[in-house]
A and B are shown apart, each in its own frame.
Chain A
Amino acid sequence: MSVRPDVGLERLIHGLELELLEAADEEFMAGARDLGMNPDMKGSAAFLGVKDLSPQLLSALRLAYLARREGEDA
């Protein structure tokens, strides 16, 4: 790569993102099944971090909620 790493990485991510946007649905389903996951099942590990909230985000939401409550109480 002939550019700075940060520039190269962003370009690479953009190029790979386009690949992923063009990929068929079946490629994702097959990818999950290859890993032993069943995306059709409720609570499938394939959706870890997607259908649930990360601890960091939960904490940020709690803080935002408390700040809003305090603003309303004041």
Chain B
Amino acid sequence: MQAPAARALAMKLVTNCDLLRLKVIARLHGRSLPPDVCWADLLQEAFARVLDGSRAIPRAVPTVAFLAGVMRSIKAEHWRRRRRATEQQPVLATEYQVVMAETAEACDPQPDPERWLIAAQQLQAIGTLFANDPVALQIIAGLGDGLTAEEIRRTLRMSKTDYDSARRRMRRALIRAGLTMGVSE
């Protein structure tokens, strides 16, 4: 059976290089997926939805950017499904609320405990990826706080050249990590 991504390649919907890019992006989204779904499933599902016509690519949107958006939306669906399935776990919820009260700002009345824990681990993992690059770590913190590139640059008082150079290093590390790991990771 041919994978949807391979079918899209054969149909010239994407190029080999697009597939590499999408793999790295899927790997990135894979860091915040529920444990029963892997990045490859997310990627193939996004391609399958485009190929079967359930998600039509708008003319003005590049295919790769659209597929990345579809992956984001499928990820949200998986979490919604997961949340519905785990709503009946009062013990875990109680333990989680203790942890939450110590570390969080009160911004969401009912955050998902499992998602919280996975996110904390993955933030640490991403931090490890850039452990030797203090500038990248600062940029990561800024992105996590929802700042734009320009806001981060201003906050860190960096020249555009230094900032672009840090972004290049970050992309290189992400691409390397995205092309290195195994299928189910």
Chains A and B bind each other: yes
Q: Determine the distance from Cα of A1 to Cα of B172 in the docked complex, in whole angstroms.
A: 23
Which listed residue (B143, B167, B180) contacts A12, Cβ 8 A? B143
Minimal beta-carbon separation of A40 from chain B (angstroms) = 7
A21 proximal to B (CB < 8 A)? yes
Minimal beta-carbon separation of A27 from chain B (angstroms) = 6
Q: Determine the distance from Cα of A54 to Cα of B115 in the docked complex, in whole angstroms.
A: 23
- Per-residue CB proximity of A43-59 to B under 8 Å, as 1/0? 00011111111111110
Q: Determine the distance from Cα of A55 to Cα of B82 in the docked complex, in whole angstroms.
A: 21
Whether A34 pairs with B176 at a CB distance below 8 angstroms is yes
CB neighbours of A13 from chain B (8 A): 28-29, 31-32
- How many chain A residues touch the partner (CB < 8 A)? 47
Whether A56 pairs with B119 at a CB distance below 8 angstroms is no
B91 proximal to A (CB < 8 A)? no
Whether A20 pairs with B25 at a CB distance below 8 angstroms is yes
Whether A49 pairs with B40 at a CB distance below 8 angstroms is yes
Whether B17 pairs with A3 at a CB distance below 8 angstroms is no
Q: Is the interface of B mostly helix, strand, loop or mixed?
A: helix
Complex: chain B residue closest to A11, CB-CB: B146
Whether A56 pairs with B38 at a CB distance below 8 angstroms is yes
Q: Determine the distance from Cα of A37 to Cα of B176 in the docked complex, in whole angstroms.
A: 11
CB neighbours of A8 from chain B (8 A): 119, 123, 144-145
Q: Which of B6-40 contact A (CB under 8 A)?
A: 6, 9, 16-17, 19-25, 28-29, 31-32, 37-40
Residue pairs across A and B with Cβ atoms less than 8 A apart, 24 shown, are: A5-B120, A5-B123, A6-B118, A11-B144, A12-B140, A15-B143, A16-B28, A16-B174, A17-B68, A19-B174, A20-B21, A20-B24, A23-B171, A28-B179, A31-B20, A31-B176, A35-B180, A39-B16, A40-B16, A49-B183, A50-B40, A54-B41, A54-B44, A60-B41
